[in-house]
Structure 1
Amino acid sequence: MMKKKDGDPVDNDYDEDGPLSDREGRVEKYIGVKVKVSFTGQGDTQSMKQLSGGQKTVVALALIFAIQRCDPAPFYLFDEIDAALDPQYRTAVGNMVQRLADMANTQFITTTFRSELVKVVDKIYGVTYKNCVSRVNVVTMEEALDFIEHDQSHNAE
C-alpha cells in the first residue's frame, strides 16, 4: 500500500510494508498499491514500470483471475487481452479462460484478432461494417480463423 506523505507528489513510489494509522488508530488515506513481481521465483522483483507490455498483461490477468477465484462475477469482458502476448502465452491464457469458465460457471467475453483464443471458445461472433451499418453474426471457427489469417497477412504488407 502506498500513502501520500506531506508535501510529496501523489505519484511517488513508496515501499510501505505495514499498515499505516493516524494517532486515533484509523487507517490513513492510501494513494494506491505498488506491485512487485518476480517471474523467476527468485528474490529478484521488478516494479510494474520495469515490465514489458506482455509481462504487465500477465500480472493484470493473474490479479483478475485470483479475484475471480475468491469472488467470481457472472461474466468478464476483456478487450484484446492477448494483444501484447507471445503465441505460447496466448494459448496459455486461452486455456486458463476456458478452464475458469468451465469450473466457475462464469462467462468470458473477449475480443481478439489472434487465433489462439479463437481455438478454445464455445461461440464466435463476427462484426462486419458495411454501408455505415455494423452487423453481428455467429461465425464458424473456420470463418474466424480465415478472417484472422487474412487480417494478419493484409497487415504484414
Structure 2
Amino acid sequence: MPILKDGDQADDDYDEDGPRTADMEGRVEKYIGVKVKVSFTGQGETQSMKQLSGGQKTVVALTLIFAIQRCDPAPFYLFDEIDAALDPQYRTAVGNMIRRLADMANTQFIMTTFRPELVKVADKIYGVTHKNRVSWVNVVTKDEALDFIEHDQSHNAE
C-alpha cells in the first residue's frame, strides 16, 4: 500500500488519473509506485493488476521486462519459474520469444523450469540432483530433461 508524504496510508485502488492537488507551497506531491492498467484486446475497458489472473500478471510483468530489454539490454536475465502460472500455449509463446531475443541480442537468459515448453527452446540444460545432502549440477540432454519433467509431473499427479 503506498505511503503518502505525511505518513498516512493511501488506498491503492485510488483511480484518479489526473494531476494531484498542490500543497500550500504550490508543489505537487510526487507519485509513489506504479499503477498499471491492462487491456489484452487493445480495445474497451482496462483492468487493474488486482483483477488479473496469475498467468495474466506474468504476461504483464514479462512485457515490462522485455520492453526495458529492448531499450537498455542487460547482459543476462535470471528467471525463476516464470512459466508456472501460464497455460501451455502461452509457455510456448514465451519460450519462442525468449529464443528470438537470445538470438537477436547478445543476451543470455537463465531460467529454472519444470515445464517442457521452455526446455525445448534451451541451448544448454543443467540438472541439479541431491544425494547425501550434497547437490550435484550436471549438463543433461534435452531428452533427459524432458524425461525428468514427465516423470516429475506423473509422480506429483499421484
How does the TM-score come out when normalised to structure 2?
0.89
Question: Could you tell me whether the CA contact under 8 Å between 1:36 and 1:45 is conserved in 2?
Answer: yes
Distance 1:11 1:127 in 2: 44
Please name the residue that 1:131 is paired with.
Answer: 132
Q: Percent identity?
A: 86
Moved more, 145-154 or 7-16: 7-16
Please name the residue that 2:87 is paired with.
Answer: 86
Distance 1:129 1:115 in 2: 21
Question: Could you tell me whether the CA contact under 8 Å between 1:3 and 1:29 is conserved in 2?
Answer: no
Please name the residue that 2:155 is paired with.
Answer: 154
Distance 1:91 1:126 in 2: 21
Q: Which aligned pairs between 1:8-157 and structure 2 lie closer than 5 A?
A: 8-18=8-18, 28-157=29-158
- For 1:93, what is the secondary structure of its paired residue? helix
Question: Could you tell me whether the CA contact under 8 Å between 2:3 and 2:9 is conserved in 1?
Answer: no
Shift of residue 13, structure 1, vs aligned partner: 2.5
Distance 2:140 2:129 in 1: 11
Give the aligned length. Answer: 156
Moved more, 138-147 or 18-27: 18-27
Unaligned runs of 5+ in 1: none
How does the TM-score come out when normalised to structure 1?
0.90
- For 2:126, what is the secondary structure of its paired residue? strand
Question: Could you tell me whether the CA contact under 8 Å between 1:78 and 1:110 is conserved in 2?
Answer: yes
**TM-align CA RMSD:** 2.2
Question: Could you tell me whether the CA contact under 8 Å between 1:3 and 1:30 is conserved in 2?
Answer: no
Question: 1:110/1:28 Cα in 2 relative to 1: closer, same or farther (>3 Å)?
Answer: same
Unaligned runs of 5+ in 2: none
Please name the residue that 1:4 is paired with.
Answer: 4
> Aligned AA for 1:14?
Y
> Aligned AA for 1:35?
V
